[in-house]
Structure 1
Amino acid sequence: MPGTFEYALCYIVENKLDLTGFDAWYNNDKTGAAAYPPSVMLKIILLGYAHGLISS
């Protein structure tokens, strides 16, 4: 919902940060399950820190 911290966090991560450095690590075609996009993982970690969850 616009005006919330979560909305601002999603906007900043998706539109203002350059995450191209993580693109090489994102591909997991050889083995294992499909990798999560780096932007999603960053959002989860930052939202957890914002809510006081310091364990990752």
Structure 2
Amino acid sequence: MKDLTFAEKQFIISSLNETFHNAQNKLNAGNLGDVERAMIEQTVKKAKEILLKLELTA
């Protein structure tokens, strides 16, 4: 990820933020099955992890 330009990192951060918030909204809605909830929780966790890495290098 260190080879990315600042603009590319900002684009990825913006996209991951949107993904994170969409997944969080689905979790907050509370009408998910167990498998779907687990997949969305994993999405939230991974998006947050990548965001932290990118923001530290941006």
**Higher RCO by CA contacts (8 Å cutoff, separation 6 or greater):** 2
TM-score, structure 1 normalization: 0.34
TM-score, structure 2 normalization: 0.33
